[in-house]
Chains A and B, each alone.
Chain A
Amino acid sequence: MQNEKAKSAAITKKTHEPFIYITKRNDLPRLKAWGIRAAVLLIAMLFCALLVMLLTGENPINVFSSMVEGSFGTSRKMWNLLQSAAILLGISLAVTPAFKMRFWNTGAEGQVLIGMLASVACMFYIGDAIPSWLLIVIMFFASVIAGAVWAGIPGFFKATWNTNETLFTLMMNYVAMQLVSFFIMIWVPSGSMILGVVNADSQNGWFPSIAGQKYLLNVLIVALITVIVYVYLKKTKQGYEIAVVGESENTARYIGINVKKVILRTVLISGALCGVMGWILAAGTAHSITANSVGGNGFTAIMISWMSKFNPLVMVFSSLLVCFLQRGAGEIASTLRLNSSVGEVLTGVIILFIISSEFFINYKVNFRHKKHKEEVK
């Protein structure tokens, strides 16, 4: 290696070695990698503390403590954290098969929303006609189909005519939102544009509370989805096919994978999982719908999936962290009466630090040695 470098330097005498250069490293032990991550997190916290002091004059200890308070202050807050993390995790898992195949599904927001719309429509139209358990089952299938169709449309266009799926799925989000507004307009003739809670008295189509916890079932279903997606991606033939198509379509074709079929199948699965999340949001969380019910989780999920390098188990921690930060931002706005943008800035800083820590784990930063300088002369 050194020899080669010297040789090339000798051949093209004018080549200057840059002051800083990076090399890929493959040999970093796991523990050291986690050490880097922890160190970066600490630096991020210190940086945030400094930022808080400079921008607001608040004591950063107060700010951090109220962030912790926002998620862990009471058992209810912990449940609310678990619930929001479960929703974010579920959507992140849903987009992951598509991403692993390098299908840029930016339409999770709309796919979840359309799944939710399907469930709420079932609650609205047949809520009183059938028993609640049957209604929940029908809602499940309605949501799965709706989500799959919403992802399947751009998937079909991509597989058949190679259209740009990033733009296509993105635009489908807006169609879904307008559809929701359209249905609310039909369902609420007073013009208030607020549907309100559906079946508030009968609770038909609502998930039951388990052990007094209304969000427990949501969390359990998402935990199950986590395991299923993990096994599907890591242990099955289809999961392997996804990985190969993602790495190189030509290789996939060469070894006899039907690329078109894999793309369509994976996109449908991704959309169907989004539909499931819509079902959970409708039956387990909101019992209602607005055009903003998914609340940007469909986009945050993209970041979670990437941050976690498509590993479902890592996603558990990433989504917990992001929800912790989001709730913390809200708590700061509430207790310290700082504008909630302060909390969002801190969240952004911390996530930026975490993402950049991956850079230092994957690459080594080298500085030009003095000796080299002389050699070049």
Chain B
Amino acid sequence: MKKALSLVLALVMLLALTTAFASCSDSNADFKVGFIFLHDENSTYDKNFIDAADAAAKAMGLTEDQVIMKVNIPEGPECYDAACELVDAGCDLIFADSFGHEDFMIQAAKEFPEVQFCHATGTKAHTEKLANYHNAFASIYEGRYLAGIAAGMKLNEMISSGKITAEQAVIGYVGAWPYAEVKSGYTAFFLGARSVCPSATMKVEYTNSWFDIALEKTAAETLIAAGCVLLSQHADSEGAPKACEEAGIPNVAYNISTISIAPTTALISSKIDWTPYMKLIIEKTRDGKGSEIPYDWCGGIQEGSVKLTELNPACAAPGTQEAIDAAMAQFKAGTLKVFDTSKFTVKGQTLTEYLADVDSDAAFTPDTNVVHDGYFDESADGKRSAPYFDIIIDGIEASK
């Protein structure tokens, strides 16, 4: 009995010791930033954010104690709880990386007006109009357009070498969900490819999941069997690149370079680099100018938010780099628009007007005309940063 009692006492003392230890580990630094991530570094989506957070913290000279990261936070009330705990820990700025975190971030933002809340991929900041809640995205459609040029050049090479006829230039695309972000992405990619290979068409298969290696691989195999000669995807796993490598089909990836998993068929990848945005919000908040962070921030090629990974010389067609560089220069000069209405039709018609669902409401009513001056103005200033292009254009055939 005595033994048991002493054991319990020892245990209690151990716990007391450890709490005492913990309470003196607080640092005196007056600025802190907290991050909320949906998964951990094992997900390519979150790793992209975690790497950016580390890079931004390093660039801004923050110490380890000034950065708190919470990983594996689901898109539910856990996000609100995590945000509150970060506020308690002294964070002046809190960033969340997943679309479903939005409502819970807004809930926390309303409760703690003195803390800045920034959320990637969300859609509600410009309508909520809270001084301390902000959305951000990147004009990744420009990156996809550029990657599309690499795909188009590859198709041209296949046509001129007699491997396929011009009509057989069918691109396959594995999409996650039939959602604006995905549709905007594949349309931009397709338009980029068609800008150099006019006979190109595209087939889209949805997996109805953001991350599912098996489903993505199966969808890729389905597309290959249906005659697609080049593939790209908007989903987070390496399923499609692997299927392409097995079938010897060129592949354009997203967010990560896939050259190591598909050495002979990986072409190029477009990616969002979140470092510039994170540097911006850390700087503004630290200088006490948090309310100056725009409601919606959309980084582009100019800001270094939209990037391309290195072109794979083992797969790319000659002249690809030059073609990409030329288009990139036009983007920077503002003379090239991805969704130029003279370059595509919808059911045979040129788009002159389109009401997009820019402002979030419960019924998802289209509310804002986004076509002007001969182009569809995606992620426009003063509207919102998250994509709203959700039209299926002629030449693209989407499943379901």
Q: Which residues of A contact B (CB under 8 A)?
A: 31-32, 34-35, 38-39, 41-42, 45, 61-62, 64-66, 68-69, 72-74, 76-77, 80, 188-194, 196-197, 200, 285-288, 290, 292-293, 295, 330, 333-335, 337, 339-340
Is B333 at the interface (CB under 8 A from chain A)?
Answer: no
Q: When the two chains form their complex, are residues A64 and B18 in contact, meaning their CB atoms are under 8 A apart? A: yes
**What are 28 inter-chain pairs, A to B, with CB distance below 8 A?**
A31-B4, A32-B1, A32-B4, A35-B4, A38-B4, A39-B4, A64-B18, A65-B22, A69-B22, A72-B19, A74-B88, A77-B85, A190-B390, A191-B177, A193-B177, A194-B75, A194-B100, A200-B103, A200-B107, A288-B103, A290-B100, A293-B76, A330-B70, A330-B71, A330-B72, A333-B71, A339-B41, A340-B40
Q: Which residues of B contact A (CB under 8 A)?
A: 1, 3-4, 7-8, 10-11, 14-15, 17-19, 21-22, 40-42, 68-72, 74-77, 81, 84-85, 88, 99-100, 102-104, 106-107, 177-180, 357, 364, 390
Cα distance A285–B364 in the bound complex, in angstroms? 25
Task: Identify the closest chain A residue to B42 (Cβ).
Answer: A339
Chain A residues near B22 (CB, 8 Å)?
65-66, 68-69, 73
Q: Contacts A80-B81, A285-B77 hold; do A34 and B4 have CB atoms under 8 A apart?
A: yes
Q: When the two chains form their complex, are residues B70 and A286 in contact, meaning their CB atoms are under 8 A apart? A: no
Minimum-distance CB pairs A-B, first 4: A35-B4, A65-B18, A191-B179, A197-B103
Q: Secondary structure of the A side of the interface?
A: helix
Q: Contacts A32-B1, A35-B3, A66-B22 hold; do A190 and B179 have CB atoms under 8 A apart?
A: yes
Chain B residues near A35 (CB, 8 Å)?
1, 3-4, 7
Chain B residues near A333 (CB, 8 Å)?
40, 70-72
Cα distance A339–B10 in the bound complex, in angstroms? 29
Q: When the two chains form their complex, are residues A39 and B7 in contact, meaning their CB atoms are under 8 A apart? A: yes
Q: When the two chains form their complex, are residues B102 and A41 in contact, meaning their CB atoms are under 8 A apart? A: no
Q: When the two chains form their complex, are residues A196 and B103 in contact, meaning their CB atoms are under 8 A apart? A: yes
Q: When the two chains form their complex, are residues B180 and A290 in contact, meaning their CB atoms are under 8 A apart? A: no
Q: Contacts A65-B22, A194-B99 hold; do A286 and B77 have CB atoms under 8 A apart?
A: yes
Contact among A69, A190, A339 with B40 in the assembled complex (CB-CB below 8 Å): A339
Chain B residues near A330 (CB, 8 Å)?
70-72
Task: Identify the closest chain A residue to B183 (Cβ).
Answer: A191
Q: When the two chains form their complex, are residues B76 and A286 in contact, meaning their CB atoms are under 8 A apart? A: yes
Contact among A189, A190, A290 with B75 in the assembled complex (CB-CB below 8 Å): A290
Cα distance A76–B89 in the bound complex, in angstroms? 11
CB distance from B46 to the nearest CB of A (A): 12
Task: Identify the closest chain A residue to B2 (Cβ).
Answer: A35
Chain A residues near B99 (CB, 8 Å)?
192, 194
Q: Contacts A188-B364, A288-B103 hold; do A340 and B179 have CB atoms under 8 A apart?
A: no
Task: Identify the closest chain B residue to A33 (Cβ).
Answer: B4
